[in-house]
Amino acid sequence: MESSNPVLTRLDETARVQRRVLGTAPATEMTIDDVVVRTVGLLILTGATAAVSWVTLRGDWVGVAAVGTALAGLVLALVISIRRITNPLVIGLYAVLQGGLLGVASRGFEMVYPGIVLQAVAGTFGVFLGMAVLYGLRVLRATPRFARLVVGALIGIVALSLVNFVIYLVSGRETLEIYSTTSQVGWLPYVFALVAITVGALTFVLDFDLIERGARDGLPTRFAWYCAFGLLVGLIFLYWQILRLISYIRR
């Protein structure tokens, strides 16, 4: 079974290769605590960078910084995921780039809707902790059927988002997602945002399961950075969806 998070999907393959090549457990094995500590560290780095960009980037630099950090972050995320990079400096660079983008974009929303950033952050971590509790109590289990449903829904959301963005660039029409902070919102963007948040939350159940099995299968400690990176990607996705939904509600 694979995670719906593309960053973490390849851990199962890595664990199998590790066992086949070494034949025994590595000298230091990854634990869940290792993943937690590194995830917290990356979140602190992302938040600190976001705060700096919030305060320092003004005027004409805002658009350039947003586009630049978005593109650089996307490229770096693909490289880390495909090559399964576990170097903390490279993963830390991704956190810095995303923090820069988060700070610039969030300040734009905050100027229009005061207090929205705090609401979105609280909502993001509330959902994340809720999923952790539900997984820990085994209320939600990462069964093969559950995984297929979540993965299929996530692929559909990403595909529809891309199509919607292309339509917006070509015609200026906003349908499933509203990109302006002031445009009127119909019922369809509300439904799409709620579905995206729900699916984004459910992906954590699969990620928790995959990390737990990675620790059980004896992955080396360095892969804790890779796992933390995957969770950071999921949290950032969830934050954007919640931020967008709250902006709809407050118009």
The pLDDT score that the predictor gives to residue 14 is: 59
- Quick: pLDDT tens for 196-232: 999 999 999 988 988 888 888 878 888 899 889 989 9
Contact of 199 with 9, CB cutoff 8 Å = no
Give the span between the Cα atoms of 162 and 233, in whole angstroms.
Answer: 18
Q: What pLDDT is attached to residue 22?
A: 46
Query: Is the pLDDT assigned to residue 8 strictly greater than 80?
Result: no
User: Residue 2 has what pLDDT?
Assistant: 44
Query: What pLDDT does residue 91 have?
Result: 93
Write b or e for each residue in 221-233: b if 16 or more Cβ atoms lie within 10 A of its Cβ, otherwise e.
Answer: eebbbbbbbbbbb
By CB atoms closer than 10 A (0-12, 13-18, 19+), residue 19 is middle
> Who's near 101: CB < 8 A, 6+ residues apart?
53, 65, 66, 69, 70, 73
* Chain segment 133-167, per-residue pLDDT in tens: 999 898 888 888 898 899 899 889 988 988 888 88
Full-model pTM: 0.84
For the segment 65-117, what is each residue's pLDDT rounded down to a tens digit?
Answer: 566 667 677 778 778 877 788 889 999 999 998 998 899 889 888 988 999 99
Report the percentage of the chain scoring pLDDT > 70: 83
How high is the pLDDT of residue 105? 86
Report pLDDT for 81.
76
For residues 18-25, give the mean pLDDT.
51
